[in-house]
């Protein structure tokens, strides 16, 4: 647990699919800058500077500054969806799958906070077409979590008043980790993941959650 995933350098390895090298360096620089200052407050000169290049070099690899955000958003959302999907398709009870999904999703938001911040909070800076594409991925994330909760209700494991609302609340809780989590704070990503898995099981009325610990 908590391998390279939770260091800034480790975050970089998630971008391995981006080539060539210069394009990847620019992308990583953009992620850091967007996370620190926000999309609109970040200049193309800042991004290029962090990547050790001149401002013009950015435009050899990306058409516009927005394309950078779009690429980051899509790769990030695909990663998030993959995490939830993997957890949802695991063997086991709904209780186990929900706990696994929440703890790994939270670990990603806490450990890869830089990336997650951009992915979750800079969506509105995209143009309408790009935003719609990303929103489709987001709806798929929602569907994965909802499916687990519905399974649990059907199996009599969970006791939920409003499946749609509870799904939203669970995702909301996980996503907001990216806003407040601080690497220098009192918790490791693993600890927050475990705490949140417990809280979420309580939210879905899994009677054993409190008793088991």
User: Which of 33, 148, 192, 197 forms a contact with a second copy (CB under 8 A)?
Assistant: 192
Contact of residue 60 among a second copy, DNA, none (CB under 5-8 Å per partner type): DNA
Residue matched to tokens 């999703």: 105
Task: Provide the mask over 47-86, with x wherever binding to DNA is found by CB under 7 A and - wherever it is not.
Answer: -x---xxxxxx-xxx--xxx--------------------
Burial of 205 (0-12, 13-18, 19+ CB in 10 A): middle
Tell me phi and psi for residue 57, to 5 degrees: -60, -30
4 touches DNA (CB under 7 A): no
125 touches a second copy (CB under 8 A): yes
- The beta strand positions in 42-179, using DSSP E, are none
**How far apart (Å, rounded) are the C-alpha atoms in residues 159 and 161?**
7
127 touches a second copy (CB under 8 A): no
Contact of residue 165 among a second copy, DNA, none (CB under 5-8 Å per partner type): a second copy
Q: How far from each other are the two terminal CA atoms of the chain, in whole angstroms?
A: 21
User: 4 near 10, Cβ under 8 Å?
Assistant: yes
CB of 136 to DNA, least distance (A): 24
CB of 204 to a second copy, least distance (A): 8
168 touches a second copy (CB under 8 A): yes
């Amino acid at each position: 647990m908590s391998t390279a995933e939770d260091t800034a350098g480790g975050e970089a390895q998630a971008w391995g699919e981006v080539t060539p090298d210069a394009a990847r360096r620019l992308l990583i620089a953009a992620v850091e800058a967007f996370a620190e200052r926000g999309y609109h407050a970040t200049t193309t000169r800042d991004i290029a500077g962090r990547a050790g290049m001149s401002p013009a070099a950015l435009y050899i690899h990306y058409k516009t500054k927005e394309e950078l955000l779009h690429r980051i958003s899509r790769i990030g959302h695909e990663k998030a969806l993959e995490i939830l999907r993997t957890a949802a398709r695991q063997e086991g009870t709904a209780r186990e799958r929900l706990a696994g999904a929440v703890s790994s999703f939270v670990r990603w938001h806490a450990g890869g906070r830089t990336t997650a911040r951009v992915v979750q909070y800079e969506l509105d800076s995209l143009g309408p077409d790009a935003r719609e594409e990303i929103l489709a991925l987001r709806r798929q994330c929602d569907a994965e979590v909802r499916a687990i909760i519905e399974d649990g209700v059907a199996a009599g494991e969970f006791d939920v008043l409003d499946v749609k609302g509870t799904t939203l609340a669970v995702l909301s809780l996980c996503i907001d980790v990216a806003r407040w989590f601080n690497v220098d704070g009192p918790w490791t990503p693993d600890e927050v993941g475990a705490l949140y898995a417990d809280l979420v099981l309580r939210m879905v009325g899994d009677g054993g959650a409190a008793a088991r610990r």
